Amino acid sequence: MKNLLLILALAASLIGCATPPPAPPQHTTLFRPGEYGSKYYRIPALVTTTQGTLLAVADRRIESQGDLPNAIDLVLRRSTDNGASWSEPITIARHTEETGYGDAAVVVDRTTDEVVCIFASGCGLWASTAEQPLDIEVARSSDDGLTWSAPTRITPQIYGPECPAPAVDSLSGLFAASGRALQLADGGLLFVVAAHRTGDKWPPLRNYVCRSDDGGHTWHLLPAEASHCGDESKIIELADGSWLMSIRNPDMGYRRYTLSHDKGASWSEVGEWRDLPDPACNGDLLRYSLRSEGARRDRLLHSIPADTAERRNVSVALSYDEGKTWPVRKTVWDCPSGYSSLTRLADGSIGLLTEVGDWDTGFEIRFTRLTMEWLTDGADDGR
């Protein structure tokens, strides 16, 4: 009897010392169809400012779910407590009778603390021509996303009839891939464009990179074509200084990628990640940690629907080898879901902003806070 009591006491002690399971993801719906004066919402973009504030940006598509040309406003909600609570919507750019504004790519300039938002306006990609092109605009915030400058048209810096020295001839339409833009270690800002050329049968689209070296005030298109068969794409700087581009696969199946080892002057042959399914959907690519900055491991994150044909099962994948392989992946939304955007929160957790729904029901824009521990089933604490 005494031995039995000892065994029971030991078992109780072991149970009491067991490590609790990682906390499950926490979800908050930020935009629903019919709310805030709009029938529809699409196109998430998510960043963390230098003050630790979360900015969740979306297209407010007033009457129709369609892309430009359409009555679209760019709006955001702010969180100063890692996503526990959110502000009322703030308008970045409000549509006019002449044009709407959509497909935001957002980046924080950590040298100035400004937030830079790049987006499209005007005729829409498929109506764009070399003579009357789709416009690219920039708005800026110097107060942590509370207020925004009026949109500044940067199209003449990049392409079109007003561009004095286009880096690439015969481009007839392009737009910035929505979600995240990138700041390099040297302070430069990058965003990827999807473009078609005069005479092209499109889609698919060609990918190029735009760069700014003055905090996003002026931009230039790098002439090297990263991909001739892509779509919305994301770019990240690797630990060795090279650039990795993740490319939406217009043929569906698996995500594509390419590398530049010379700051965009040339690109490798396009490859395919067989461990990242892609149903021809926009996703996101995020630097989570660097050993050179004190972390135990280099880590990249990628969000994408985990399906080769349908936009559903948006998941987050983790790479420990600078994007060569993606051995860890977990589904966040086990349902119809599409575009997504990632950020690292001030407390080290991971923020995900996702379109949840489909074209029949309309899309809700939902924020998710998850942890590295949950993503790895407790195997990695993110340090």
- The model's pLDDT over 327-356, given as tens digits with 9 standing for 90+, comes to 999 999 999 999 999 999 999 999 999 999
Q: Residue 12 pLDDT > 50, yes or no?
A: no
Residue 20 pLDDT level (bands cut at 50, 70, 90): confident
Number of domains in the chain: 1
Give the residue-averaged pLDDT of 121-147: 97
What does the pLDDT read at residue 21?
A: 87
Render 36-78 in DSSP notation, one character per residue. GG-SEEEEEEEEE-TTS-EEEEEEEESS-S--SSS-EEEEEEE
The domain spanning residue 249 has which CATH number?
Answer: 2.120.10.10
Distances (CA, A) of 152 to 138, 159, 223: 5, 15, 23
Residue 17 pLDDT level (bands cut at 50, 70, 90): low
Query: What range defines the domain where residue 281 resides?
Result: 28-375
Three-state DSSP class for residue 249: coil
272 within a domain of the structure (yes/no): yes
Give the residue-averaged pLDDT of 77-101: 98
Q: Give the Cβ contact number of residue 374 at 10 Å.
A: 19
Give the residue-averaged pLDDT of 135-164: 98
DSSP secondary structure code for residue 185 in this structure: T
Give the residue-averaged pLDDT of 173-187: 97
What does the pLDDT read at residue 171?
A: 97
Which has the closest alpha carbon to 297: 268, 274, 328?
A: 328
Distances (CA, A) of 321 to 238, 260, 266, 325: 10, 17, 22, 7
14 within a domain of the structure (yes/no): no
Is residue 259 within 8 A of residue 247, CB to CB? The reply is no
13 within a domain of the structure (yes/no): no
9 within a domain of the structure (yes/no): no
What does the pLDDT read at residue 282?
A: 98
Q: Residue 4 pLDDT > 70, yes or no?
A: no
Structure tokens at 53: 């504030």
Percent with pLDDT over 70 in the chain: 95
Q: Which helix (H) or strand (E) holds 233?
A: strand 233-237
317 within a domain of the structure (yes/no): yes
What does the pLDDT read at residue 203?
A: 82
Stretch among 2-16, 292-306, 366-380 having the lowest mean pLDDT: 2-16
139 within a domain of the structure (yes/no): yes
- The model's pLDDT over 111-123, given as tens digits with 9 standing for 90+, comes to 999 999 999 999 9
Give every CB contact of residue 346 below 8 A, 6+ residues apart in sequence: 48, 52, 82
What does the pLDDT read at residue 55?
A: 98
What does the pLDDT read at residue 3?
A: 53
Give the residue-averaged pLDDT of 358-369: 96
Is residue 95 within 8 A of residue 73, CB to CB? The reply is yes
R_g over Cα of the chain: 22
- The model's pLDDT over 253-285, given as tens digits with 9 standing for 90+, comes to 999 999 999 999 999 999 999 999 999 999 999
Alpha helices in the chain (DSSP H): 2-17, 155-158, 372-375
What does the pLDDT read at residue 1?
A: 47
Render 127-164 in DSSP notation, one character per residue. T--SSSPPEEEEEEESSTTSS-PPPEE-HHHHSSTT-S
Question: What mean pLDDT is reported for the chain?
Answer: 95
Give every CB contact of residue 23 below 8 A, 6+ residues apart in sequence: 371, 373, 374
